[in-house]
């Protein structure tokens, strides 16, 4: 997916969770005034074929969104045996104003879920910076029967935030996964989980925390 995607407007309505203030020196809830730009370096995975995922930055720089249009896992019935698990890895280049660094404080995921009785599903995500061993996996399980929208939020305590290194460029990686298990009660019927909505798209919102880099 090419280019720097700097968008606004429509994503503002999705930003329902504000980053809380924090009392530690240099950490605050007001982002730097200059705009951030996110370049999508690579998008890989069975849940995000080329051209089906897009990134947008909120007008106030407190969040960015990833929009999917073909992210669906399913099992049971005549489903393809490999369709029970779908994944997507986003490799992002985040350009931030000089003198600042950022961390991902929380992430909101949404989609639709249809599970037969006895079926189950899992949404999983992990986040890390290029060259870092700090990986933060988060898992959200669901069980049938279920036929409704779903939502999951990953939150990280301030003390556990993983900050981008100051003074160097490190790509930010987001790995997500949807997994569906048909179970044994109704394996002849399809169960599925999507990261999309009735209009064909859903925006996953990543809320950003900011702090000043130490003076060099």
pLDDT digits (tens, 9 = 90+) for 110-119: 999 999 999 9
Q: Is the peptide bond before 145 cis (omega within 30 degrees of 0)?
A: yes
Q: What pLDDT, on a 0 to 100 scale, did the predictor assign at position 186?
A: 84
Q: What is the separation, in whole angstroms, between the first and last Cα of the chain?
A: 35
Q: Which residues of the chain have pLDDT under 50?
A: 1-28, 197-201
Pairing of strands 85-95, 37-44: antiparallel
Q: What pLDDT, on a 0 to 100 scale, did the predictor assign at position 140?
A: 96
Collapse the DSSP code of 32 into the 3-class scheme (helix H, G, I; strand E, B; otherwise coil) and give the result: coil
Measured over all CA atoms, what is the biggest interatomic distance in the chain, rounded to whole angstroms?
A: 63
Core vs surface per residue 52-77: b (16+ CB within 10 A) or e? bbbbbbbeebbbbbbbbbbbbbbbbe
Q: What pLDDT, on a 0 to 100 scale, did the predictor assign at position 136?
A: 64
Q: What pLDDT, on a 0 to 100 scale, did the predictor assign at position 19?
A: 32
Q: What pLDDT, on a 0 to 100 scale, did the predictor assign at position 20?
A: 34
Backbone phi, then psi, for 123, in 5-degree steps?
-110, 130
Q: What pLDDT, on a 0 to 100 scale, did the predictor assign at position 71?
A: 94
d(CA 90, CA 95): 16
Q: What pLDDT, on a 0 to 100 scale, did the predictor assign at position 199?
A: 38
pTM: 0.78
């Amino acid at each position: 997916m090419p280019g720097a995607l700097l968008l606004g407007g429509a994503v503002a309505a999705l930003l329902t969770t504000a980053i809380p203030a924090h009392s530690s020196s240099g950490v605050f809830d007001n982002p730097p005034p200059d705009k951030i730009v996110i370049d999508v370096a690579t998008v890989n995975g069975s849940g995000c074929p080329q051209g089906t995922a897009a990134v947008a930055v909120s007008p106030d720089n407190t969040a960015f969104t990833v929009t999917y249009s073909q992210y669906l896992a399913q099992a049971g019935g005549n489903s393809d045996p490999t369709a029970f698990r779908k994944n997507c890895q986003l490799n992002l280049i985040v350009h931030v104003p000089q003198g600042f660094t950022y961390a991902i404080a929380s992430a909101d995921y949404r989609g639709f879920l249809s599970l037969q009785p006895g079926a189950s599903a899992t949404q999983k995500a992990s986040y890390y910076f290029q060259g870092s061993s700090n990986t933060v996996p988060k898992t959200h399980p669901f069980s049938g029967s279920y036929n409704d929208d779903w939502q999951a939020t990953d939150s990280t305590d301030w003390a556990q935030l993983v900050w981008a290194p100051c003074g160097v460029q490190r790509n930010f990686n987001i790995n997500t996964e949807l997994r569906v298990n048909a179970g044994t009660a109704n394996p002849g019927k399809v169960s599925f989980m999507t990261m999309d909505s009735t209009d064909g798209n859903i925006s996953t919102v990543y809320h950003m925390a900011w702090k000043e880099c130490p003076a060099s």
